[in-house]
Structure 1
Amino acid sequence: MTNSNNQIDILLKTHCELDQDALDNLWGKATFIFDSNVLLDLYRLPQEAKNELLSVLKKPEIKNRIWIAFQGLLEFLNNRHDAIGDQKSKFETVRGKLQQAISSYEETFKTLNIELAKLKLRRRHSLINPEKFISSENIAAGIGFVNDFIENLNELEKKQRDVNDEDETKKDVLNIFQGKIGRGLSKKQITELYLAGENRYKNEVPPGYKDKNKPHSYFVLDIEYKCKFGDLLFWHEVIDKAKAENLEYVILVTGDVKDDWWLEKRGKKLGPRKELLNEIYTNAPSLKAFHMYDTSNFLRRIGERFAFDVSESTISETESLLASDRNGVKSDELVDISEILAIVTIDMDDFSVAQADGFTNLPLVKIPLMTMYNVLNEIIHNAKNHSSTKAIYIDTRLESQYRTLRFSNAANPNKTTSFASRDNTSTGSLREGAVGLDMVRSTLALEGVHVETTLENNVFTIELFIPISKFQ
């Protein structure tokens, strides 16, 4: 029979908000447990960010308190070649896109020359001389920077390790976690968890049910490790570790952002799923606090707690990796709005773009890249053409169902036609009249994004209401 007092204790602990004292104890005493995703990101991060993450793991304050489950190491070792191969193959992908751009560029001018030749301008016009400008030398010069990029790419590829090269990252990981690796579950435990897992997944009991369609297995001795149950095995190793060693505080650092691990409300991750907290507190009664951080938040907090030098760029790089293929969404389906904005405004020296912190740290969004580019290009050029101050301010706010992007600029009273003029029946060019706004509205409507504009107190504002489900 369940002890009613114990039942109340577990309930309250499961729903306890960690106050400052609890967080101080957690960071001061916790065992840091890492999953394979964090370690595999070492292959994906830029070199500087990778070095900073490794440096953090090697700090005595951290290294003396870290641990990885056998399941975590198993997945790291078996998936590292995929991570290495993906990095290597990206060179060919980028090179192919650049060569395609060159072909399209050359084909465009070939077609242009043919069309101009049909006009017989040399014989029929006294002034127009296209050959003066559209020469083979000028065409070659126009594409020269792309050829330079390809040459640079070829040189960088020589430095990129391949799957058959010596793996220095693997050496680093094994050295850091030497003597801090779980022994794994017994064959009997694993068999029992497979049976229990089928029922858990059917009822969507976390963790792991999001991986239920993974078909592969790994073998160690005579034990089959089924990938679809990898998270479940890993989780029970964590529980067994906490129980066997009477741990009081545990921090799990994970690169997995699927909702079979995280409790998420209004687009914000609030911590571990309550089912996970209930399970670990029930089975490891000595545990006073269990908490989870994704890699970027771990690095941010650890920089604050231990005064480690962790750059904002490294934190940003780890944030972007949370949207990788392992989370069920292909990374090439997701776009970085702030990066697209940087491309749109790259040559605008005479125009100021001020961005709120919330905008620069936006999660990736599932909207076609060219759609987002065309929309931002239209908005920014409209502001440039019509703003009285040659500036635009961009911010964002999170609502219950939407994340709103807000673009505001001071309207120029001398230009009566504006991006908002669709509502006032005016005519004009693409950016001065209804066509530009219609394009933004119609293309974003296909993505389920609502657009609103206002012109108040001589300030023009356009708002994009993007559903929360669109963001990673």
Structure 2
Amino acid sequence: MKSKFPGYIDNYLENNILNSKKVLVSFDTNILLNLYRYEKSISADIISQIRSLKRNKFFDIWLPHQVALEFNLQRKATFKKQERAIHAIEDEFKSFKKTIEGLSKIGGKNSEVFPLKKELGVHFDTIGNIIKDYLPKTRSQDSSDPVINNVYDIFNGVVGDSYSQEDMANIEREGEFRFSNNIPPGYDDEGKEIIYSYSGVKINAKYGDYILWKQLIDKASQEQLTVVLVTGDVKSDWQSKEYSRVRPDLITEFKLKTGQDFYALTLPDFQRFFDSKLKRKLSDKTTNEMIELTAKDNSGWLNEILSAFEHFDNPLTLKEIYKFIASHSDRDLPPSWEVIIRRTVYNHCSDVSAYLGKKDLFEKISSGYYRLR
């Protein structure tokens, strides 16, 4: 019976993955894009860790073509978002400085604000210089982008092949059937409405995770190796809350189609479980920062969605919710933030199949519009 249901066996990671003779390590798009969201020392630490795997005989590293494509399509928007955040801090500081200086003029030196302005003033130049040091001057040029140069170097020669248009058409048909029946992975992305292309082949963004899944299966079949996907996502179409790990149906499908084992781990968990095999370790600072960022990226979204409905007081489309949050949220939006928003709405709407059965907050009324119940 075990051979028919391998993914449902307890301690699958310990008994199967960790006992492999060799492991093919692959990376999800968010791992690479998040390198632009960390401070430089942390990004450098993660890059060094990934690079060290290439020199480790226990591991092979490989990047699915879909991940490489998504990274190249999204990287400029990701680090430009960081640039805008720093410029926003600079603008806020200038506005604060101007306000203090203006208020201190009311009543002159006898003003109660004047001594405050005098005390703060000695720090203004220091604060201004600190902000300037963080302003990216030419980062939009690849020659000054340490992330892209390192990513290109590390994954040179280890990126998978793309699919033909015929292959992609078959994947879309399969994906449509799987999504309509909540068969993972990828159905959390069903609401994506972006079309892009690679070498003349049309690609529908909502099938991105399923394309990645197919490429992982193809690679495992070719190489006959255990595959571990390192990811920063905790989406329900990849992770099981009941098992507190990758979904058992995904492990089972992978095993039955390839004869090989599959698992998905965050980078901190990858280090924790493969500790004895690693020649280089992430610093505690890096590990804690990654855990903290993942927690922030996956919490508090429901309140922001509710704020959008309260602001407009009328039915909204997902695009309108995205637009409101993009312009009003104080958080550093992760690469997959629209997916998280969409999933959160679905999880709290009994009119869609992804409803979790708890808080039924939203009603789907027509043509993609939602309203508060």
User: TM (normalized to structure 1)?
Assistant: 0.57
* 1:24 corresponds to which of 18, 36, 47: 18
Which one of 200, 209, 229 corresponds to residue 231 of structure 1?
Answer: 209
| Distance in 2, Cα, partners of 1:171 & 1:96 | 31
Shift of 1:110: 6.9
Describe the SS at the equivalent of 2:244.
Answer: strand
Match of 1:318 in 2: 290
- Which residue in 1 is equivalent to 2:28? 35
Distance 1:136 1:87, change over 3 A: same
1:10 aligns with 2:8: no
Q: Does 1:280 align with 2:257?
A: no
C-alpha offsets along residues 302-339 of structure 1, whole Å, 9 cap, x if unaligned? 455425232111112222332576x69769969xxxxx
Contact kept, 8 Å, 2:138 with 2:144, in 1: the verdict is: no
SS in 2 for 1:251: strand
Secondary structure of residue in 2 paired with 1:292: strand
SS for the counterpart of 1:174 is helix
User: Equivalences for 1:108-187 in 2 at 5 Å?
Assistant: 131=110, 134=112, 136-142=114-120, 144-158=122-136, 161-162=139-140, 166-187=144-165
- Who is 1:298 aligned against? 270
Change (3 A) 1:173 1:138: closer
Return the alpha-carbon distance in structure 1 between the equivalents of residues 234 and 186 of structure 2.
Answer: 12
Tell me, in whole angstroms, the C-alpha distance in 2 between the residues paired with 1:201 and 1:328. Answer: 25
The 3 A distance-change label for structure 1 pair 16 and 189 is farther
* 1:150–1:193 distance in 2 versus 1, CA, 3 Å: same
Instruction: Deviation per CA, 1:427-457: give whole Å up to 9, x if none.
Output: xxxxxxxxxxxxxxxxxxxxxxxxxxxxxxx
Structure 2 CA distance for aligned equivalents of residues 94 and 277 of structure 1: 45
1:10 CA drift (Å): 2.4
Question: Could you say if the C-alpha distance between residues 30 and 145 of structure 1 is closer, same or farther in structure 2, counting changes exceeding 3 Å?
Answer: same
Question: 1:62 and 1:106 mapped to 2: Cα distance?
Answer: 62
Alpha-carbon distance between aligned partners in 1 of 2:58 and 2:201, rounded to the nearest angstrom: 30
Among 233, 242, 246, the residue aligned to 2:220: 242
Question: How far does the alpha carbon of each residue in 1:126-156 deviate from its partner, in whole angstroms, 9 at most, with x for none?
Answer: xxxx93x836354232354355322321232
**Given the alignment of the two structures, is residue 66 of structure 1 paired with residue 61 of structure 2, yes or no?**
yes
Gaps of 5+ in 1: 115-129, 335-367, 370-472
Q: State the aligned residue count.
A: 305
**How far is the alpha carbon of 1:80 from its aligned partner?**
0.8
Q: 2:197 aligns with which of 215, 219, 235?
A: 219
Q: What is the alpha-carbon distance in structure 2 between the residues aligned to residue 103 and residue 138 of structure 1?
A: 13
Q: In structure 2, how many angstroms separate the alpha carbons of the residues matched to 1:331 and 1:168?
A: 35
Mapped pair 1:86 → 2:59 = no
Contact 2:103/2:113, CA 8 A, preserved across alignment:
no
Instruction: Say if 2:36 and 2:78, in contact at 8 Å, map to a contact too.
Output: yes
Deviation at 1:263, TM superposition (A): 0.9
Show the counterpart of 2:168.
190
Q: From the CA coordinates, give the structure whose radius of gyration is larger.
A: 1
Q: Distance in 2 between matches of 1:100 and 1:41?
A: 30
Q: For 1:316 and 1:98, locate their aligned partners in 2 and report how far apart those are by CA, in whole Å.
A: 29
1:403-426 deviation line (CA, Å, top 9, x unaligned): xxxxxxxxxxxxxxxxxxxxxxxx
- Greater strand proportion: 1
Q: Look up the equivalent residue of 2:28 and give its one-letter code.
A: D
> Aligned to 1:225, what secondary structure does the other structure show?
strand
Q: Distance in 2 between matches of 1:108 and 1:174?
A: 52
Equivalent residue letter for 1:258: K
SS in 1 for 2:163: coil
Structure 2 distance, partners of 1:242, 1:328, is 34
Local SS of the residue matching 2:197:
strand
Pair 87,332 (structure 1): closer, same or farther in 2 beyond 3 Å: farther
Residue type of the alignment partner of 1:283? K
1:39 CA displacement: 1.2
SS at match of 1:310: coil
Matches of 1:332 and 1:164, distance apart in 2: 38
Amino acid at match of 1:39: L
Return 221-230 or 9-18, whichever deviates more.
9-18
SS in 2 for 1:236: helix
Cα distance change, pair 260–310 in 1 and its aligned pair in 2 (3 A) = same
Identity %: 25
Which amino acid in the other structure matches residue 239 of structure 2? W
Q: Distance in 2 between matches of 1:160 and 1:313?
A: 28
Measure, in 1, the Cα distance between the counterparts of 2:23 and 2:48: 19
Query: Deviation of residue 295 (structure 1)?
Result: 2.4
C-alpha displacement of 1:164? 6.3
Cα pair distance change 1:225/1:101, threshold 3 Å: same
1:35: Cα distance to partner?
A: 1.4
Identify if the C-alpha distance between structure 1 residues 227 and 158 changes in structure 2 by more than 3 Å, giving closer, same or farther: closer
CA gap 1:45/1:154 in 2 versus in 1, 3 angstroms: same
Q: Specify the SS of the correspondent of 2:263.
A: strand
| Structure 2 runs not aligned, ≥5 long | 306-328, 331-373
Q: Which amino acid aligns with 1:182?
A: G
Letter in 2 for 1:233: I
Q: Offset of 1:186 from its aligned partner?
A: 3.1
